[in-house]
Homo-oligomer: A and B are copies of this chain.
Amino acid sequence: MKRKGNLTLPSESGFLDETKELIDRWGADALRDSDGTKLSDDLKKLDAKIYTTYFVSRGHNDFARENMDECQHLYLMSDFNLATSDTLEVKFMDGYFSEQVRPDYDHDPKRFWEVIDRTSGELVDRSNWDLDSERDTVIIKNAKEFHEYTVSFLTYAIWDPTQMYNHITNDWGDKEHDIPFDVRKEKSSKFVEDYIENWLKENEDTDVVRFTTFFYHFTLVFNDKGKEKFVDWFGYSASVSPEALDAFEESKGYRLRPEDIIDEGYYNSPFRVPSKEFLDFMDFQQEFVSNKAKSLVDKVHDSGKEAIMFLGDNWIGTEPYGKYFKNIGLDGVVGSVGDGATLRMISEIPHVKYTEGRFLPYFFPDTFREGNDPVIEAKDNWLSARRAIMRKPVDRIGYGGYLSLAYKFPKFVDYVENIADEFRDIYDTINGVKPYSGLKVAILNSWGKIRSWQTFMVAHALWYKQIYSYLGILESLSGMSVDVEFISFDDVKTNGINSDIDVIINAGVEGTAFSGGINWLDEKLITTIRKWIYNGGGFIGIGEPSAIRHEGRFFQLADALGIDKELSFSLSTDKYFDEEEEEHFISKDLKGKIDFGESMNNIYSLSEKTEIIEYSNGEIHLSSNDYGKGRGVYIAGLPYNKDNARLLMRSMFYAAHKEEELYRYFASNPAVEVNAYPDIDKYAIINNTDEEQKSIIYDGDGDSYNVELSPGEISWVNIKGDNNG
């Protein structure tokens, strides 16, 4: 009989028999509720752990309504407003949703708000503006004609944005709006402590408290038509409050300006090179959140239950790769798995006993509707995630939503049964076993470790035209037999580069936190990296690496990469070196045109020694350059697909001068990957596609043989008794 366990099943009241059946078929050992579903008592008595969703700072409107002065806050910026005379009226709420936010007139606007001349960049003196709270209008006096002005204003957040989204999307009608309250404030702080104590007593059946989540929601703002206006999965704007700003001043010794949060209207997007002020604020909030969350988690533990958190929604300040996370003392983290990178984001989380991936599709009517086949999304999701699981498995998998919907699709139920079995098989084989890695790569950007597996992301796992050509890097790496680390410019400046790193990747758009912008003018950073490459390191630049206009260069590592980008200033210089190599190690397994995604224009080589691997449309998209004992590889963009994963892998082995070592536990066919586990004398050959594949396989000694794999197959081979044995 097959093993059960490591799987969480969403259930719902009135669905007992089917739940029993699926517990059996999928091997579930835990049941959960979801947003909109409840577990009835009969379900709670089944042989499974019970997960119960717990909202800390919303979903308690009886309290919140009575204490509206403890509402959460949100800093917002008005539209740009043009002064056409010396008086300008700014209706700062224009474009915002009055059901979500309400201007805070209780805390002195002259202290907490700012009016900025966005043409000159100057702060407008407080004496030069007045407020008409009746009309939600700021009146600016002595305005400069044809300058643009913005108002930064503090609002109360009066509707939790996740509930709002579900409410609007699912047409919940007159269901009450969840009002988020702020645990930094006295009554709220006491309320959440008291409430959970009672709740824990009242919910004896619950084995695992699933915090969804703690205190502050990522920034999610709606427009005046109730549609999403701004979404930043990492945003701290909704964690501010007068109290927080005062406490910050006390803690850090200086006061934040509203502009430190507003940030020209970019609200410290993770794409912005973070200011010291914002990094201080993050640190300050993380410390606070971790302490406060710990006290709730402690209570859960005291009641004999486990505490896990959902990685999302009100997760601001809990960053699992941040320095305060371990203090919280959580038992586990559960997160949504959109692909391989998001799986690794979850599975690598330290300081917890277990991680759980919530797989797609979510059991909602958008996917589970007549005429749609949910197996397609499930298969895509599983094959993407499986690559990452082979490197570092989550400990559990699960689903969410209405089980009654999923149950109507028998082929889906069959397919998940297969996933569950395959997952447990993999997990039981490799959990805790270090997989073979051919080299170690570090992703270098402004964020480093705290944003491990979270670079280039706007809203969790959503596609954006401007990011997919970079997200492919993480997705490629998520299932690749290399070790991955995330390091920041500050790490390099402070600690240098660890000796175990073979390859550094710097990728992204000019000026962003990922490419690095102004960081590259730091002499310590640039010389450390140059020296490291020169002495044998492998550097890979993707997009606009090390880009900032300075002293005749755009890419500050142009010398190491052997290429630069033409900004139109050096058009007078002939580009006569640009000739494509006939064959190259990096592009060897690839057939047809390489997909560079959004790609990059106007890249040219600096000298004839640059190896040009792809040249088309009058520009270079793929090249390599010897630099001392090291190498610099340039790639114009890397959306995820199997060929690009292979391209990146070859680029890394080439950059690191480890060309020969590529052919250990290696498949010639990019659709196939090999993961080896020397400690248990096994390796797995996996077919990442839903089609049959053939490949030459190279074992750990570099000996090769041919295989054929059925769609999606994993073939396990014993190292000591393999086909060559």
Bound form: Cα–Cα A526–B527 in Å: 39
For A271, what are the chain B residues with a Cβ–Cβ distance below 8 Å?
568-569, 571
Listed residue (A84, A266, A531) with the most chain B CB atoms within 10 angstroms of its CB: A266
CB contacts (< 8 Å) of A553 on chain B: these are 80, 118
Is there a chain B Cβ closer than 8 Å to A219's Cβ?
yes
Known contacts A119-B523, A552-B266; A572/B147 CB under 8 A: no
- Closest Cβ of chain B: how far from A224's Cβ, in Å? 12
Tell me which residues across on chain B come within 8 A of A116, comparing CB atoms. 551
Which residues of B have CB within 8 Å of A527? Answer: 119, 144-147
A313-327: contact bitstring with B at CB < 8 Å (1 yes, 0 no)? 000000000000000
- Stretch from A333-341, A394-402, A445-453, A463-471 contacting the other chain: A463-471
Stretch among A229-237, A382-390, A716-724 lining the B interface: A229-237
Q: Are A511 and B120 in contact (CB under 8 A)?
A: no
Residues of B within 8 A of A150 (CB): 552
Tell me the number of copies of this protein.
2
Minimum CB distance partner of A234 in chain B: B572
User: Which of chain B's residues have a CB closer than 8 A to the CB of A227?
Assistant: 574, 576
List, in ascending order, chain B residues with CB within 8 A of A618's CB. Answer: 465
User: What is the minimal beta-carbon distance from A191 to any residue of chain B, in angstroms?
Assistant: 31
A523 to B148, CA, bound (A): 11
Distance to closest chain B CB from A404 (angstroms): 33
Chain B nearest CB: distance from A230 CB in Å? 5
Would you call A602 an interface residue if the criterion is a C-beta within 8 Å of the partner chain's C-beta atoms?
A: yes
B-chain residues with CB within 8 Å of residue A231 when the two chains form the complex:
572, 574
Q: A526-B146, A573-B230 are in contact. Are A559 and B80 (CB under 8 A)?
A: yes
How far is it, in angstroms, between the C-alpha of A593 and the C-alpha of B527 when the chains are bound?
Answer: 48
Are A145's CB and B569's CB within 8 A? no
Residues of B within 8 A of A247 (CB): none
- The residue on B at minimum CB distance from A220 is B572
- B residues less than 8 Å from A628 (CB atoms): 84
A147 to B526, CA, bound (A): 8
Judged by a CB distance under 8 angstroms, whether A204 is at the interface is no
Q: Does A584 contact B (CB under 8 A)?
A: no
User: A523 is contacted by which of B147, B466, B550, B572 (Cβ under 8 Å)?
Assistant: B147
* CA gap between A619 and B526 in the complex, in Å: 35
Residues on B with C-beta less than 8 A from A550 are: 121
Residues of chain B within 8 A (CB-CB) of A458 are 571-572
A455 proximal to B (CB < 8 A): no
Contacts of A573 on B, CB cut-off 8 Å? Answer: 229-230, 265
A465-B618, A527-B144 as given contacts; A572 in contact with B118, CB under 8 Å: no
Residues in B neighbouring A602, C-beta threshold 8 A = 465-466
With a CB–CB cut-off of 8 A, which chain B residues contact A303?
A: none
A574 to chain B, nearest CB (A): 5
Bin the interface of chain A by size.
35 or more
A152 CB to closest chain B CB (Å) equals 11
With the chains together, A117 CA to B197 CA distance in Å?
A: 65
Query: Would you call A512 an interface residue if the criterion is a C-beta within 8 Å of the partner chain's C-beta atoms?
Result: yes
Given the complex of chains A and B, what is the CA–CA distance between A523 and B122 in angstroms? 12
> Is the CB of A680 closer than 8 A to any CB of chain B?
no
Q: Chain B residues near A223 (CB, 8 Å)?
A: 574, 576
Bound CA–CA A570/B512 (angstroms): 11
A316 to B528, CA, bound (A): 44
**Is A229 touching B574 in the complex (CB atoms < 8 A)?**
yes
Q: Say yes or no: is A267 at the interface (Cβ < 8 Å to chain B).
A: yes
Taking a contact as CB atoms under 8 Å apart, the answer to whether A534 and B146 are in contact is: yes
Q: Residue-by-residue, is A214-230 near B (CB-CB < 8 Å gives 1, otherwise 0)?
A: 00000100010001111
**B contact residues around A512 at 8 Å (CB):** 567-569
| Distance in Å: Cβ of A597 to nearest Cβ of chain B | 12
Could you say which residues of chain B place their CB within 8 Å of the CB of A144? 523, 527
Interface residues of A in 410-428 (CB under 8 A from B): none
A146–B572 touching, CB < 8 Å = no
Does B570 lie within 8 Å of A266, measured CB to CB? Answer: yes
Give the residues from 564 to 612 in chain A that come closer than 8 angstroms, CB to CB, to chain B. 566-574, 576, 598, 601-602
Q: How many Å lie between the Cα of A146 and that of B146 in the bound state? A: 47
- Are A572 and B466 touching (Cβ within 8 A)? no
A251-276 vs B, CB cutoff 8 Å, 1 = contact: the mask equals 00000000000001111010110000
CA distance A272 to B509 in the complex (A): 23
Q: Which residues of B contact A305 (CB under 8 A)?
A: none
Q: Does residue A621 face the partner (Cβ distance < 8 Å to B)?
A: no
Q: Which residue of B lies closest to A267 (CB)?
A: B572
**CB-CB nearest in chain B for A569:** B266
Return the CB mask of A120-145 against B: 1 if under 8 Å, else 0: 11000000000000000000000011
Residue on B with the closest CB to A81?
Answer: B559
**Is A177 an interface residue, CB under 8 A from the partner?**
no
- A82 is an interface residue with CB less than 8 A from chain B: yes
A266 / chain B contacts, CB cutoff of 8 Å: 552, 569-570, 572
Assess A530 versus B146: contact at CB under 8 Å? Given A552-B264, A573-B230, A574-B230. yes
Across the two chains, which residue of chain B brings its CB closest to A627? B82
A658 within 8 A of B: no
A655 to nearest B CB, angstroms?
Answer: 18
Q: Nearest chain B CB to A670's CB is how many angstroms away?
A: 27
The closest CB in chain B to the CB of A607 belongs to B79
A465 contact set on B, CB distance < 8 A? 602, 617-619
Residues of B within 8 A of A294 (CB): none
* Bound complex: CA A271 to CA B566 (Å): 12
Interface positions of A from 63 to 102, Cβ below 8 Å from B: 80, 82, 84
7 contacts between A and B (CB under 8 A): A120-B523, A146-B527, A146-B528, A231-B572, A264-B551, A265-B570, A511-B567
**15 extra interface residue pairs, beta carbon distance < 8 Å, beyond A219-B572, A227-B574:** A84-B628, A120-B523, A145-B527, A146-B531, A148-B559, A229-B573, A264-B552, A266-B570, A458-B572, A465-B618, A508-B568, A510-B567, A511-B549, A511-B567, A512-B568
Cβ-closest 3 pairs across A and B: A264-B552, A146-B527, A232-B572
| Residues of A bordering B, CB below 8 Å | 80, 82, 84, 116, 118-121, 144-148, 150, 219, 223, 227-232, 235, 264-267, 269, 271-272, 458-459, 464-467, 508-512, 523, 526-528, 530-531, 534, 549-553, 559, 566-574, 576, 598, 601-602, 617-619, 628
